[in-house]
Amino acid sequence: MEKIRIGIVGYGNLGKSAELGIRQNKDMELTGIFSRRNPQDLQLQDEAIPVYHLDQAAQMTDQIDVMVLCGGSLSDLPVQGPALAGLFNTVDGFDTHAKIPEYFDAVNLKAIQANKTCIIASGWDPGMFSLNRIYAEAILPVGETYTFWGEGVSQGHSDAIRRIDGVLDAKQYTIPVPEAIEAVQNGSLPKLTTREKHRRVCYVVADQGADRQRIEQTIKTMPNYFADYDTDVHFVSEDDLNRDHAGLPHGGLVIRYGQTGSNNDHSHTIEYRLKLDSNPDFTANVLLAYARAAYRMNRDGQFGAKTVADVAPAYLSAKSAVEIRQQLI
């Protein structure tokens, strides 16, 4: 079997999960890990995998079919995405929703010039949740779509707490409000405020002499991150945090409630729900399925930046068109 040769750029949580995910896909092989760090400093899960400095990538365009970009959306991808789109087919999980159009245009420009196929904003939100919003709205044009996140760890919110003076470590859980989900399912088409949709629970390890009241107050009033939510703060020991909150679970739910019939007398709900033990493992696996798609779309001459909206589902499957029709349709 001809294998798709994958490169991974960035070796944080997502890159590590991508390394493991490739082992689950028999039609893929991992050519190497690319990092801005000194290659000697990376401890790989499989030591047989070569590690390269990112600067070496430009000399390896004939050895890699798709680069899976595992850097962050804040500072890594805005630079790496367009740069690597000029050299490779790529897939990434760019997740700053408001900047997706701008990022798309930057990647598209380079990908078109280089005849490459670059799928951006993949993962689960954006990604699988986006797909479900698109499908559900197309099927039920009269209706309303709601997205809930959690229960799960928000790394951005955990980081925000860690930056507070006197905080040694922290984990933040985003929790959807059950009453809000029920209201949507029951068809009451609620107008939900930020506070009504989700609440936030924080586990914080404070420095010994730190003023816990000040820390709690700083968290609960932090603009954008916590001020608009009901937030619980629990102080725990470092041991407790490591024992009870070591994982990165996440998940969520997209629901569309819609109506049909001559007087909108028939109600329908479409629900798409994820429960994930490991957010990076799942996200990496989505990226790898879209890496397969990028490789095949490129072979089919579909160049430029793409989102999940532009990718026919069959491109993601390891099965042939005939097998899909026999086994999955």
Q: Looking only at Cα atoms, what is the longest distance across the chain?
A: 68
Which of residues 58 and 312 has its CB atom nearest to a copy of itself in the complex?
312
8 binds a copy of itself (CB under 8 A): no
Applying CB under 8 A, among 100, 164, 175, 183 the residue interacting with a copy of itself is 100
Applying CB under 8 A, among 5, 195, 199, 268 the residue interacting with a copy of itself is 268
CB of residue 96 vs a copy of itself: minimum separation in angstroms?
A: 11
4 binds a copy of itself (CB under 8 A): no
CB of residue 54 vs a copy of itself: minimum separation in angstroms?
A: 25
DSSP 22-60: HTT-TTEEEEEEEESS-GGG---SSTTS-EEEGGGGGGG
Of 58-66, 152-160, 196-204, 318-326, which part binds a copy of itself (CB under 8 A)? 318-326
Tokens 């569309």, located at residue? 256
Q: Please state, as a whole number, how many other Cβ atoms lie within 10 Å of the Cβ of residue 15.
A: 22
Residue type, position 189, single letter = L
Of 5-13, 69-77, 98-106, 223-231, which part binds a copy of itself (CB under 8 A)? 98-106
CA distances from 212 to 50, 157, 165, 208, 235 (A): 46, 18, 11, 10, 8
Applying CB under 8 A, among 225, 282, 295, 303 the residue interacting with a copy of itself is 282
Q: Hey, what are 278's tokens?
A: 């490991």
Tokens 């904003």, located at residue? 121
Which of residues 187 and 190 has its CB atom nearest to a copy of itself in the complex?
187
32 binds a copy of itself (CB under 8 A): no
Alpha carbons 265 and 259: distance in angstroms, whole number = 7
Q: Hey, what are 67's tokens?
A: 């680069």
53 binds a copy of itself (CB under 8 A): no
Which of residues 162 and 185 has its CB atom nearest to a copy of itself in the complex?
185
198, 174 in Cβ contact below 8 A? yes
Residues 123-162 that bind a copy of itself (CB under 8 A): 126, 128, 130-135, 137-142
Q: 297 — phi, psi (to 5°)?
A: -65, -35
260 binds a copy of itself (CB under 8 A): yes
1 binds a copy of itself (CB under 8 A): no
13, 153 in Cβ contact below 8 A? no
Number of chain positions touching a copy of itself (CB under 8 A): 66
Residue 63, classed as helix, strand or coil, is: coil
> Which residues are at the interface with a copy of itself (CB under 8 A)?
17, 20-21, 24-25, 45, 97, 100-101, 104, 121, 126, 128, 130-135, 137-142, 260-262, 265-278, 281-282, 285-286, 289, 292, 307-314, 316-318, 321-322, 324-326, 328-329
